[in-house]
Amino acid sequence: MRISYMFQEPDVKKFLLIITILLILDWYIFQLVRTAFQSRSISWQKVIKTIYWAISILVIGLLISFGIFRESYANVSTQFRHWIATFFFGMFLTKIILLLFTLFDDFVRLVQWTIDLFAKFWQNPTNSHKNNISRSEFLAKTGVWVASAPTILMGYGIISGAYNYQVIRRKIYLPNLPKSFHGLRIAQISDIHSGSFFNKRAVEGGVEMLLAEKPDVVFFTGDLVNNFAKEVEEYIPIFGKISPKVPYGVYSVLGNHDYGNYVFWSNAEAKRQNLKDLEAAHYHMGWKLLKDSHAYLEESNERIAIIGVQNWGAKGHFPKYGNLFKAVKNIRDASVKLLLSHDPSHWDAQVRPLFPDIDITFSGHTHGMQFGIEIGEFRWSPVKYIYPKWADLYQENNQYLYVNRGFGFIGFPGRIGILPEITILELVAVA
């Protein structure tokens, strides 16, 4: 294994300074933790002390190893990197909360010390002040409980949320829907991110749930992988079960992650080959990949158009590969047009103002940030402040947008509140 150093000489000093600061902060925060457990037995206190410092040393050790073996980390699996990132985030959030409680406790002690000092000075100036103000055990225990909440919540999201697939059913009424397609059942899945999966059997269970709904056609709206085409190889037999059991088959498009833009490639050809391999994976699963093109569903001499574009994001840092003008060119005799476009920002930015004849757009991309609250009709996630249309069904005039919450996950290997989704959308002809 070749060692690649992350830092030049001046950077090493900065890195060591950061490690020193982290150790000082850990010692400072530990004073609150020790107070919280001071009423416990000596044995318990030793256990808590050992766990606390073992985790702290592990975090610092990982930071040091990343600084030394940066290139090696780039070659490890996406799953491993996500677990490490989740561990770091959980520990960071926990330590920040503990630090805030420690600072608040010391602020209270400082105020109390100041009050006592002035009180004793005015009462008896000749007496020296003795500071016997102890750290608050109640505040320390509260801080520990509050700080442990994110870790508990993240653990629950990994264990309970990652593969807890939900079937969401919606009906859309279309006045121009041909009678032959009345009751057409469309299943949508999105954002599989196969490189993140760690439970193959659970994924297979999700596919079986989809097939149990007996859809007429299935749409996949992008992000089959995180970065590399090889991530999906072991899941091709699982997702390949869908197409043979669906009357009209599976239609798919590419998402922003499918192009391999978020990793370093040795050369441009390697990146191009990765995309070719990914497109081949769609073919091997029996999925009809639409790249700025369209296809038709035909029944009793009537037909509707399915349009698929490459990724097109209105946000500046997401690519605009898709060409909707090209995709709709030469569409004939299709009274209903259904669009597959990965990024929902495409709808407001281009689809609605320029293509009013596109009836329904199917998107994904947001994942609902894999975190939020959904209770009845109420739904909230931080992602709404970036993507106003981030989950479920939206309507403007006679056009609809459905944003799927995603089948998989990326970054955090779980979901809290916003669960993985299988959409069943039924088209209804209006008399």
Whether residue 3 lies inside any domain: the answer is: no
Which residues, listed in sequence order, are joined to residue 373 by a DSSP beta bridge?
380
Indicate if 178 and 250 belong to the same structural domain.
yes
**Predicted confidence (pLDDT) per residue in 394-406, tens digit:** 999 999 999 999 9
**264 vs 111: CA distance, rounded Å:** 53
Alpha helix locations (H) across 169-223? 200-212
Indicate if 330 and 422 belong to the same structural domain.
yes
Judged by DSSP in three states, 73 sits in: helix
Backbone angles phi, psi at 129, to 5 degrees: -85, 135
- The percent of residues in the chain predicted with pLDDT above 90, rounded, is 58
Whether residue 280 lies inside any domain: the answer is: yes
Say whether pLDDT at 214 is over 90: yes
pLDDT at residue 30, as a whole number:
85
- Picking from 159, 185, 215, the residue at the C-terminal end of a domain is 159
pLDDT at residue 106, as a whole number:
82
Whether residue 1 lies inside any domain: the answer is: no
- Picking from 104, 130, 159, the residue at the C-terminal end of a domain is 159
- Asked if residues 391 and 405 have their Cβ atoms less than 8 Å apart, the reply is yes
**55 vs 246: CA distance, rounded Å:** 50
Record the tokens describing residue 280, joined without a space: 């081949």
Say whether pLDDT at 125 is over 60: no
pLDDT at residue 4, as a whole number:
40
How far apart, in Å, are the Cα atoms of 166 and each of 210, 240, 365, 384, 421? 10, 21, 17, 20, 5
- The percent of residues in the chain predicted with pLDDT above 70, rounded, is 91
Indicate if 147 and 178 belong to the same structural domain.
no
Say whether pLDDT at 131 is over 60: no
Say whether pLDDT at 230 is over 90: yes
**347 vs 277: CA distance, rounded Å:** 29
Whether residue 254 lies inside any domain: the answer is: yes
- Asked if residues 136 and 105 have their Cβ atoms less than 8 Å apart, the reply is yes
Rg (Cα) of the chain, in Å, rounded?
28
Tell me which DSSP letter residue 25 carries: H
Within 13 Å and on the Cβ side, how many CA atoms surround 431? Answer: 0
299 Cβ contact list (under 8 Å, min separation 6): 178, 180, 181
Q: How many domains does the chain have?
A: 2
**415 vs 163: CA distance, rounded Å:** 8
Task: Specify the pairing of strand 378-380 against strand 373-375.
Answer: antiparallel
Residue ranges of E strands in 260-353: 287-289, 293-299, 302-308, 337-340
Indicate if 74 and 177 belong to the same structural domain.
no
| Average pLDDT score over residue span 228-249 | 97
Residue 69 pLDDT class (50, 70, 90 cuts): low
Indicate if 388 and 244 belong to the same structural domain.
yes
Indicate if 46 and 190 belong to the same structural domain.
no
pLDDT at residue 399, as a whole number:
98
Say whether pLDDT at 130 is over 90: no
pLDDT at residue 1, as a whole number:
27
pLDDT at residue 373, as a whole number:
94
Q: Assign residue 190 the CATH number of its domain.
A: 3.60.21.10
Indicate if 142 and 250 belong to the same structural domain.
no
Residue 117's identity, in one-letter code, is L
Indicate if 354 and 285 belong to the same structural domain.
yes
Residue 71 pLDDT class (50, 70, 90 cuts): low
Whether residue 211 lies inside any domain: the answer is: yes
The per-residue pLDDT of the chain, averaged, comes to 88
Task: For residue 86, count other CB atoms closer than 10 A to its CB.
Answer: 18
Judged by DSSP in three states, 379 sits in: strand
Say whether pLDDT at 260 is over 80: yes
Whether residue 190 lies inside any domain: the answer is: yes
pLDDT at residue 229, as a whole number:
97
| Average pLDDT score over residue span 188-216 | 97
Q: Tell me the angle at which helices 78-123 and 9-36 cross, rounded to the nearest 10 degrees.
A: 60
Q: Which residue has the higher pLDDT, 143 or 381?
A: 381
| Average pLDDT score over residue span 244-250 | 97
- Asked if residues 206 and 193 have their Cβ atoms less than 8 Å apart, the reply is no
Residue 89 pLDDT class (50, 70, 90 cuts): confident
**88 vs 91: CA distance, rounded Å:** 5
- Asked if residues 74 and 44 have their Cβ atoms less than 8 Å apart, the reply is no
**Predicted confidence (pLDDT) per residue in 73-86, tens digit:** 555 566 676 777 77
Indicate if 150 and 176 belong to the same structural domain.
no
| Residue 126 structural domain | 9-159
**Predicted confidence (pLDDT) per residue in 3-19, tens digit:** 344 444 456 677 778 78
Indicate if 124 and 172 belong to the same structural domain.
no
Indicate if 46 and 147 belong to the same structural domain.
yes
Of the given ranges (109-118, 194-203, 277-286, 400-409), which has the lowest mean pLDDT? 109-118
Indicate if 154 and 23 belong to the same structural domain.
yes
**Predicted confidence (pLDDT) per residue in 151-184, tens digit:** 888 888 888 899 999 999 999 999 999 999 999 9
Record the tokens describing residue 166, joined without a space: 């939900």
- Picking from 144, 159, 174, the residue at the C-terminal end of a domain is 159
Whether residue 367 lies inside any domain: the answer is: yes
- Asked if residues 192 and 245 have their Cβ atoms less than 8 Å apart, the reply is no
Q: Which residue has the higher pLDDT, 392 or 44?
A: 392
- Asked if residues 415 and 157 have their Cβ atoms less than 8 Å apart, the reply is yes
pLDDT at residue 3, as a whole number:
34
b/e map of 224-241 (b: 16 or more CB within 10 Å)? bbbbbbebbeebeebbbb
| Average pLDDT score over residue span 14-27 | 82
Q: Identify the H or E element spanning 10.
A: helix 9-36
Whether residue 121 lies inside any domain: the answer is: yes
Which residues, listed in sequence order, are joined to residue 217 by a DSSP beta bridge?
186
Record the tokens describing residue 301, joined without a space: 């001499």
| pTM for this entry | 0.81
Q: Which residue has the higher pLDDT, 404 or 128?
A: 404
| Average pLDDT score over residue span 129-151 | 74
Residue 129 pLDDT class (50, 70, 90 cuts): very low
Listed residue (421, 407, 409, 314) closest to 369, CA to CA: 409
